[in-house]
Amino acid sequence: MEQKTSLSDQLEERLIEFAATIVSFSTELAVTPAGKHIAMQILRSGTAPAPNYAEAREAESRADFVHKLGIVQKELNETSVWLRILSKTIAEKREKIVAVLAENQELCRIVGASVRTATGTVRKFGERSEPLHR
């Protein structure tokens, strides 16, 4: 009998795969001051979502879960910015950057939907959602 993998297990695995891709990609960046700086930044922000999501899955309350998912989302957003910077500065790796950025954006949408579901702030078309923190 085949056992189905839960959606949360699937998301965690995608985040781990994304982190592995970021680790590999960061080693390919130029050994220049700018390359080293961006490599370290993208390495930090791009590998953080997976362990933070694992922490969120073990949250002690709904508020703790939402808070930790918010951290996952912030790290993915930061990674997106670094990838967009790279896409404008490294023409020879543009195709790979676009692929990594597409996965990043998909993960952002999934985590964002999870946050909205957990907070009960699912938006209707055209409505603006309230920020998580004031």
CATH of the domain at 17: 1.20.1440.60
Q: Is residue 30, in this structure, part of any structural domain at all?
A: yes
Give the global pTM.
0.83
Q: Is residue 54, in this structure, part of any structural domain at all?
A: yes
Residues in the chain: 134
The lowest-confidence range among 8-17, 25-34, 104-113 is 25-34
Please give the tally of structural domains in the chain: 1
Q: Is residue 79, in this structure, part of any structural domain at all?
A: yes
Which residue's entry shows tokens 């490599």? 39
Q: Is residue 133, in this structure, part of any structural domain at all?
A: no
Q: Is residue 126, in this structure, part of any structural domain at all?
A: no
Q: Please say if the pLDDT value at position 133 is more than 50.
A: no
Q: Is residue 22, in this structure, part of any structural domain at all?
A: yes
Q: What is the pLDDT of residues 76-119, one digit of tens each?
A: 999 999 999 999 988 788 889 999 999 999 999 999 999 999 88
Which pLDDT does position 4 carry in this prediction? Answer: 82
Which residue's entry shows tokens 């998301």? 11
As a whole number of Å, the end-to-end CA separation of the chain is 48
* Residue span of the structural domain in which 112 resides: 9-119
Q: Is residue 4, in this structure, part of any structural domain at all?
A: no
Q: What is the pLDDT of residues 57-66, one digit of tens each?
A: 999 999 999 9
- Report the candidate in 88, 89, 86, 56 with the shortest Cα–Cα distance to residue 70: 56
Which pLDDT does position 121 carry in this prediction? Answer: 65
Q: Is residue 131, in this structure, part of any structural domain at all?
A: no
- For residue 130, what is the enclosing H or E element? none
